[in-house]
Amino acid sequence: MSRIGKKPIEIPEGVTATLAGEVLNVTGPKGELKREINRNVRIEIKDGKILVLSEKGNLWGLYRALVSNMVEGVSKGFEKKLEIEGVGFKAMADVEGLTLNVGFTNPVKIKKPEGIDFLVEKNVITVSGINKELVGHVASLVRKAKKAEPYKGKGIKYQGEKIRRKEGKKVVAAKK
């Protein structure tokens, strides 16, 4: 039995959840999210709680986590922060998306999907939205534009991420 799947999901004030056929709709102060539910998973909404029930245990915990993320997203939202390190590396957010100058001849442009916001403060990029999966995906696309390299640490990394550093050739040769 799934320990995660057994826990009921509390519906906070200002959030409503409705089930129409196989589509769960969660609406809150930040927006609205819809998700199609697998036919092997049953969802019941009772007494301000969402219960996830399953005949197959492999989807039980997954759908409980997905529904929990939907409820948290429409009430609080999600955000991921990325740091830019490097001389001359900068980012600019505009209506269409994000423009990164990260050492290439042309700037790297990342289009903004619906429901995602970019905020740039000095060398920190904040990707925010109500859909946790989409926020994480867009943040990984931004990071992939110029991953932090292991020798000097220049590039884009998640805030708090530790880049494992390597010694250069000259340092290794001097030690011998």
Q: How confident is the model at residue 83 (pLDDT cuts 50, 70, 90)?
A: very high
| Rounded distance between C-alpha atoms, residue 95 and residue 172, angstroms | 47
pLDDT tens profile 15-67: 999 999 899 999 999 999 999 999 889 999 999 999 998 877 788 889 999 99
State the DSSP H helix or E strand holding residue 38, giving kind and residue range, or none if neither.
Answer: none
Residue 37's pLDDT is 92
| Rounded distance between C-alpha atoms, residue 167 and residue 150, angstroms | 9
| Rounded distance between C-alpha atoms, residue 139 and residue 145, angstroms | 10
Asked whether 73 and 130 are in contact (CB, 8 A), the reply is yes
Q: What pTM value is reported for the model?
A: 0.88
Residue 1's pLDDT is 54
- For residue 81, CA distances in Å to 9, 23, 84, 141, 150 come to 27, 31, 10, 13, 20
Residue 154's pLDDT is 94
pLDDT tens profile 55-71: 777 888 899 999 999 99
Domains of the chain: 3-75 (3.90.930.12), 78-158 (3.90.930.12)
What are φ and ψ of residue 131, in 5° steps? -100, 110
Residue 6's pLDDT is 85
Sheet architecture: strand order including 78-85? 116-121, 124-129, 78-85, 155-158
Q: How confident is the model at residue 173 (pLDDT cuts 50, 70, 90)?
A: low
| Rounded distance between C-alpha atoms, residue 4 and residue 78, angstroms | 21
Q: What's the chain's average pLDDT?
A: 92
Residue 4's pLDDT is 80
Q: How confident is the model at residue 168 (pLDDT cuts 50, 70, 90)?
A: confident
Residue 55's pLDDT is 73
- CA nearest to 74, candidates 20, 112, 33, 134: 33
